[in-house]
Amino acid sequence: SSHSRAYSLVDSSQVSTFLISILLIVYGSFRSLNMDFENQDKEKDNSSAAGSFNGNSTNNSIQTIDSTQALFLPIGASVSLLVMFFFFDSVQVVFTICTAVLATIAFAFLLLPMCQYLTRPCSPQNKISFGCCGRFTAAELLSFSLSVMLVLIWVLTGHWLLMDALAMGLCVAMIAFVRLPSLKVSCLLLSGLLIYDVFWVFFSAYIFNSNVMVKVATQPADNPLDVLSRKLHLGPNVGRDVPRLSLPGKLVFPSSTGSHFSMLGIGDIVMPGLLLCFVLRYDNYKKQANSDSCGAPGPGNISGRMQKVSYFHCTLIGYFVGLLTATVASRIHRAAQPALLYLVPFTLLPLLTMAYLKGDLRRMWSEPFHSKSSSSRFLEV
């Protein structure tokens, strides 16, 4: 009976959500780390070619969140949520088009490594000029074409699997291009978003007579093709049979019986994913620092086995346990749960504890990567 009860609390749809969300976080974190390596190589090439100090060249596409942005992000998210709640009928078409454009770019980024692998034997990696649009490689053109095709099929069919594919692209792109510079900013951001998530799931119904978070997340939008056909008066049978679209702001998986869908918002993947990306970068930074110092030992009160445990694996296990706890709680209470209520403590608390025991807490708390880059550039000069 205990086995059957456990299976009733976590079914196949939840297992699929677990696996996909963890794979997205791991893949996005490693894509982010690879982008760091590529930027470092470009900086070295530029400095050697110019023969002067060019250490300030950075990738402008990468956005680093500072303390002020971390504090105001939950407020901005709350304002956006209220706009979608009160004015959804007025802005749904614009919001759908903007989401489709962003999903196209993000899914092209997700497909780019596969397209690079496929086009490498066939064509050189020379960029093709498209005038004012820029220069692109064959792999970039192929990934963008496939992404546009997928978005068009999703608009025509509205299938949940295509929506999940676009949501996966959004998750990976946001984890790869957004950075948390320190543990202090990570704690500010995740703590603020925990309060935001708890308030809009548990307490919004007392003020707005409706669960604002659930209503916005589950409300389908009008298909732009249907709206266009009505505006242009193309006839009753032109563009009217397209379905309404559930926007790719979440991952959904049907249960084995098809009676319900398991749903997880991409914010519950991206925000803990940013923390995991930060600790993966710190693990790599610490590994390089130890190799530069010829393997200097850690603090004397920590065993060698404890020193070998990476922050990334510790935080990833905490994310899985938090996600499992959130799923079990939602099945027990038969209601939507704020996932960050479980994910934030299960990821931050083990990370803070391990950083304190290893003696890295002070270094991780405030700009751990800044001193390394500054010192290395000074030595190069």
Give the residue numbers annotated as catalytic, written as ranges: 197, 268
Any residues with CB less than 8 A from the CB of 217 and at least 6 apart, and which?
Answer: 249, 250, 263, 265
Return the closest-CA partner of residue 140 out of 124, 154, 127: 127
DSSP per-residue letters across 240-283: -SSPPB--SSEEEEE-TTSS-EEEEETHHHHHHHHHHHHHHHHH
Distance CA 262, CA 194 (A): 21
Three-state SS at 135: strand
Three-state SS at 140: helix
User: Ramachandran region of residue 11, left (φ > 0), alpha (ψ -120 to 50) or beta?
Assistant: beta
CA distances from 128 to 100, 141, 184 (A): 25, 9, 43
- What angle is formed at CA 113 by the lines to CA 110 and CA 119, rounded to 5 degrees? 130
